[in-house]
Amino acid sequence: MNTMLENNTITFIFLAIILLLIIIIGFMVYQLMQSKKAKENAEESFYALERKVNDLQLETLESKLNPHLFKNILNSIQSHAYQTYFALDKLANVLDYILYESKKKFVTAKEEIDFALNLIEINKIKISPLFELKIKTNINKEDKLYEQPLLAPLISIDLIENAFKHADLQSADAFISVVFEFKDNAFFMTVSNKISDKKVLKKERGGLGNTTLEHRLRIIYKNNFKLERFTENDIYIAHLKIDLLEYKTEMLATGR
């Protein structure tokens, strides 16, 4: 009788311990789930805040961009009245792009390249007839990403404006070369120019500089771009590559 009572007591204690362990484990799992949920909420709030900060920074950068562009364009047209009609036609295309397309978060590579070519045509009125201006496009139009809106608008302006600013546009020995490529799901832009011997006057207020361009690219594309700038002898070369496939993959993965 005593043995049976002891066995029942042991069984009861054993079951109580198991029940207590189940309760403790259940509580720990609940706490873990709550902690995980809190972490996810915190991460979501952080990313939302980061997006707002980035958008604000981009708005600040872009607000500095358009006046700089307009000033250069209008100065060019004003100083070359005999080419005004042609320049105004190109300017109309540039203005349409700025007013309508550039307000979008992204444009297609086709739209950005067409805009850049119009911008170059406007800048051509500043150069001597003997000046060598080489424009080349190497586009794989079969690439599915070529006409998908993945490229930040106006991303080509700084490199083009920089080349026209630092080349001697009246020298027959100088040149500017601009190459646009779209291949392997990536956008490429290479701009090179012979550096002028003349000193460029330092302006009190300049446009977007190289540092700002890289800042903008880093905000948008993170590590999915490469911007190289270097000088070989008296030739300045800038090369930009944006891996749009990697960027699109990251966008889909993060739900952006």
Per-residue model confidence (pLDDT) at position 204 = 39
**Structure confidence at residue 96 as a pLDDT band (50, 70, 90):** confident
For the residues 166-186, what does the mean pLDDT come to?
A: 89
Domains in the chain: boundaries? 58-254
Residue 29 vs residue 252, higher pLDDT: 252
Find all residues with CB under 8 Å of 65, minimum gap 6, and list them.
Answer: 154, 157, 207, 208
Give 187-199 pLDDT, tens digit per residue.
999 999 988 776 5
Q: How confident is the prediction for the chain on average, in pLDDT?
A: 80
Residue 207 has pLDDT above 50, yes or no: no
What does pTM read for this prediction? 0.72
H or E segment and range at residue 24: helix 2-79
Per-residue model confidence (pLDDT) at position 230 = 92
For the residues 111-129, what does the mean pLDDT come to?
A: 87
Per-residue model confidence (pLDDT) at position 102 = 77
H or E segment and range at residue 75: helix 2-79
Give 144-155 pLDDT, tens digit per residue.
999 999 999 999
Per-residue model confidence (pLDDT) at position 201 = 43
Per-residue model confidence (pLDDT) at position 2 = 56
Residue 172 has pLDDT above 50, yes or no: yes
Per-residue model confidence (pLDDT) at position 229 = 93
Residue 13 vs residue 248, higher pLDDT: 248
Sheet holding 225-232, edge to edge: 132-139, 175-183, 186-194, 235-243, 225-232
Residue 53 vs residue 18, higher pLDDT: 18
For the residues 37-52, what does the mean pLDDT come to?
A: 68
**Structure confidence at residue 7 as a pLDDT band (50, 70, 90):** low
Please give the Cα distance from 231 to 234 (Å, whole number): 7
For the residues 177-206, what does the mean pLDDT come to?
A: 79
Domain 58-254 has CATH 2.60.40.1120: no
For the residues 162-191, what does the mean pLDDT come to?
A: 90
Residue 15 has pLDDT above 80, yes or no: no
Parallel, antiparallel, or unpaired: how do β-strands 175-183 and 132-139 relate? Answer: parallel
Count Cβ atoms within 10 A of the Cβ of residue 241 and give its class: 0-12 exposed, 13-18 middle, 19 or more buried: middle
Top mean-pLDDT range of 68-82, 168-182, 200-214, 215-229? 215-229
**Structure confidence at residue 209 as a pLDDT band (50, 70, 90):** low
DSSP 80: -
Per-residue model confidence (pLDDT) at position 180 = 98
For the residues 160-181, what does the mean pLDDT come to?
A: 88
